[in-house]
């Protein structure tokens, strides 16, 4: 039925139940990991995930027995469909991906051709041949791979995977958002660059196009495609909730009614004051607002971590500080702190980590519309990428 670098799919017959099935045969790898992941896949029961009837190992292969879906792929189905229809099907596919994550599974190759429609027209995520459970991925050595070694499709791979790191729910989320952006706008958000090094740099920039995507949906997808995993949505569950909220029409009449009431009240009060000559209104002294302690605490945590030379703590503190300082209108201070962290990482030989932080500086520079800072960050990114 099909083949690729990571397995072959055969049309087969279950001669006990008398039904046609798809038989996917893959390299076995670690037999204990293969057995554990086979059981987890078989236990994954969700209407938006392909049904896995059986699994096992033989010789140097492992195999999955799957239901056959003969409907079109999501890529084929989306042609000519409205944005509302496309969003509805992608929300279903996202629910399937979320169900896998809740079971501890990472798909690792989500793309529009790995989703098919069932006979009722609902989206079903397929091709879990590359799926791994998070525990086994944690046991592998990150950074030792390559896009080819870790598997996946280049145009939907997150930046960390292009750098040879292993898949995670955050990288699945990135692929989902790239696919939906492409379906809604007809454009690939990061072009079609096939050179890995050039693509890593491209993923540090804002996504392309998307003018036809609604503002609220666009904001949700942009966060899901952030270059750093920690800047994306916490989980697929939260991402899907944000998407559903973004497509929900905002109520109009309650606001209009409220505006009318406030306007009438203002007119009534104004007319009363006008009809009382000589009325002196008492002066009102508003109390000074309490300073927000959160930004100060966020900056203090970064500096304490740097002083203790605790790199992991410094990076986590920086991730936590960005939304806090942005909300407080103090993004420039975040840039100052991030540059200090990046310099410390570089001095300590942590090139990957320094590159990640300069990516954060670049994104902040875009938000600040500071072209000089963008150029500085871009040069540092290129310099550090050349050292990897």
The reported pLDDT for the residue numbered 244 is 93
Q: What is the mean pLDDT of residues 99-124?
A: 92
Contact 197, 154 (CB under 8 A): no
The vertex-105 CA angle with 100 and 109, nearest 5°, equals 85
Is pLDDT larger for residue 258 or for residue 308?
308
Structural domains of the chain in order of their starting residue, each with its CATH number: 2-66 (3.30.200.20), 74-137+151-247 (1.10.510.10), 293-385 (1.25.40.10)
Q: Is the pLDDT of residue 36 over 70?
A: no
Contact 335, 373 (CB under 8 A): yes
The reported pLDDT for the residue numbered 251 is 55
The verdict on pTM exceeding 0.85 is: no
Q: How far apart are the first and last CA of the chain?
A: 40
User: How confident is residue 216, by pLDDT bands cut at 50, 70 and 90?
Assistant: very high
Q: Is 109 a catalytic residue?
A: yes
Name the percent of the chain lying above pLDDT 90.
35
The reported pLDDT for the residue numbered 53 is 87
The reported pLDDT for the residue numbered 374 is 87
Helices 236-247, 169-185: axis angle to 10 degrees equals: 30
Q: How confident is the model over 127-172, as pLDDT tens digits?
A: 765 555 544 444 444 444 444 444 678 899 999 999 888 889 999 9
The reported pLDDT for the residue numbered 56 is 84
Q: How confident is the model over 265-299, as pLDDT tens digits?
A: 454 444 444 445 555 555 555 555 556 678 888 89
The reported pLDDT for the residue numbered 322 is 84
Worst-scoring range by mean pLDDT, 54-58, 143-147, 163-167, 305-309? Answer: 143-147
Q: What is the mean pLDDT of residues 206-213?
A: 88
* Inter-CA distances, 264 with 149, 260, 261, 271, 274, Å: 68, 6, 5, 11, 15
Q: What is the mean pLDDT of residues 190-202?
A: 88
> Which of 30, 54, 98, 109 is labelled catalytic?
109
Is pLDDT larger for residue 85 or for residue 197?
85
DSSP-based three-state secondary structure for 279: coil
User: How confident is residue 360, by pLDDT bands cut at 50, 70 and 90?
Assistant: confident
pLDDT mean across residues, the chain: 82
User: How confident is residue 21, by pLDDT bands cut at 50, 70 and 90?
Assistant: very high
The reported pLDDT for the residue numbered 4 is 66
């Amino acid at each position: 039925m099909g083949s690729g670098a990571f397995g072959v799919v055969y049309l087969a017959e279950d001669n006990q139940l008398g039904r046609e099935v798809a038989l996917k045969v893959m390299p076995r790898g670690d037999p204990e990991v293969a057995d554990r992941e086979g059981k987890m896949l078989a236990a994954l029961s969700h209407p938006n995930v392909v049904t896995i009837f059986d699994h096992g190992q033989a010789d140097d292969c492992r195999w999955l027995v799957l239901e056959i879906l003969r409907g079109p792929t999501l890529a084929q189905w989306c042609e000519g469909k409205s944005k509302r229809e496309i969003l509805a099907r992608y929300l279903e596919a996202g629910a399937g991906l979320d169900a896998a994550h809740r079971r501890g599974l990472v798909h690792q190759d989500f793309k529009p051709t790995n989703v098919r429609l069932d006979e009722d027209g609902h989206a079903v995520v397929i091709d879990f041949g590359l799926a791994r459970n998070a525990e086994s991925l944690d046991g592998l050595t990150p950074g030792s791979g390559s896009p080819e070694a870790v598997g996946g499709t280049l145009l939907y791979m997150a930046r960390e995977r292009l750098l040879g790191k292993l898949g995670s729910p955050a990288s699945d989320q990135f692929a989902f958002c790239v696919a939906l952006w492409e379906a809604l706008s007809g454009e690939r958000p990061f072009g079609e660059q096939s050179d890995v090094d050039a693509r890593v740099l491209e993923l540090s920039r804002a996504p392309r196009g998307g003018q036809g995507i609604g503002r609220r949906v666009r904001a949700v997808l942009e966060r899901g495609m952030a270059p750093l995993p920690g800047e994306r949505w916490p989980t697929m569950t939260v991402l899907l909730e944000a998407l559903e909220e973004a497509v929900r029409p905002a109520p109009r009449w309650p606001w209009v009614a409220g505006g009318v009431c406030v306007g009438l009240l203002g007119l009534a009060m104004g007319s009363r004051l006008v009809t009382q000559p000589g009325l002196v209104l008492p002066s009102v002294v508003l109390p000074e607002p309490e300073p927000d302690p959160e930004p100060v605490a966020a900056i203090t945590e970064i500096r304490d971590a740097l002083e203790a030379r605790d790199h992991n703590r410094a990076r986590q503190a920086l991730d936590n500080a960005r939304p806090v300082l942005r909300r407080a209108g103090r993004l420039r201070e975040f840039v100052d702190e991030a540059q200090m962290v990046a310099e410390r990482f570089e001095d300590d030989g942590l090139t990957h980590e320094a590159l990640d932080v300069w990516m954060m500086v670049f994104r902040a520079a875009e938000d600040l519309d500071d072209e000089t800072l963008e150029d500085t960050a871009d040069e540092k990114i290129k310099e550090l990428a050349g050292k990897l």
